[in-house]
Amino acid sequence: MPELPDLEVYVGALSARIVGRAVRSAKVRNPFVLRTVDPPLAAIEGEPVQAVRRQAKRIVVVFSDDLFLVVHLMIAGRLRWIERGRAPPARITLATLEFDDGTLALTEAGTKRRASLHVVRGAGALAALDPGGVEIDDLDARRFAATLRSENHTLKRALTDPRILSGIGNAYSDEILHRAKLSPLALTARVDDDAMQRLHRATRDVLHEWTERLRTEAAGAFPEKVTAFRPQMAVHGKFRQPCPVCGTPIQRIVYAENECNYCPRCQTNGVVLADRALSRLLHKSFPREI
């Protein structure tokens, strides 16, 4: 799922291409993607784009008269900018917005249709789509600690809960926890103040560094390779590869459709965290330490 750094780069690329330009036509190619009926999608046709901004893990396209188009890419949704005269990919395109000099296409790979579009009118309707998490840049270290401790969750869950913090998902939470040298399964209520300050600093630094890195890589072009797995990442998607800090093989916990990646030497004092599926399979043979 695209997270804060990827979405910020999308917002910048879209702003450069569509702000001030009117939507010539808006079309849905798969009816499931449009989750609202009033106002209709046609309401944005002929309307100039006033601004593009991020709301948590959603992208909001702002039109006049308090009209908003809200895009949620979910896991496999992506945005593509199609230069005028070229056609968007037919099989995976869910919806298109046509402008004078190009077309914005919402695509989704795979068969599970999760990406969504909402057309809403009014600040209240827009706010109703916001899960309520706080932006990391709006939190100093004290408020950050209080926010995470408001509910007693694991650090992994607290970082990725959209009701607590805004824009962080599975990939960057792994990177943040590795930078902070903290276990993903540590409970927020038991993390001391020094560790919370370290986590606050790591959260800000990782998100800022990756946003700038992705902007530099895009170099003004529309982002094409938006992925949760990048070779420069320290631990996410690096199972069994050496930790860039200490060389210990990265471990993982697999659950549902996600996985948590961590370094047992840097983050868990050498303890290998139990993977529900693997530990059940190996029983007493499951390694408890590196």
Average pLDDT over residues 25-39: 96
Average pLDDT over residues 93-97: 98
pLDDT of residue 288: 62
In the chain, residues under CATH classification 1.10.8.50 are 136-285
Least confident of 50-59, 92-101, 191-200, 257-266: 257-266
Helix (H/G/I), strand (E/B), else coil: 63: strand
pLDDT of residue 289: 64
Confidence of residue 275 (pLDDT cuts 50, 70, 90): low
Share of the chain above pLDDT 90, in %: 89
The CATH homologous superfamily for domain 4-127 is: MutM-like, N-terminal (3.20.190.10)
Mean pLDDT of the chain: 93
Q: Where are the beta strands (DSSP E) in the chain?
A: 25-28, 49-55, 58-63, 67-72, 77-83, 93-99, 102-108, 116-121, 251-255, 258-262
In CATH terms, is domain 136-285 a member of 1.10.8.50? yes
**Cα 268 from Cα 272, distance rounded (Å):** 7
Question: Residue 2 corresponds to which tokens in the numbers above?
Answer: 């695209």
pLDDT of residue 280: 46
pTM of the model: 0.93
In the chain, residues under CATH classification 3.20.190.10 are 4-127
Residue 216 has pLDDT above 50, yes or no: yes
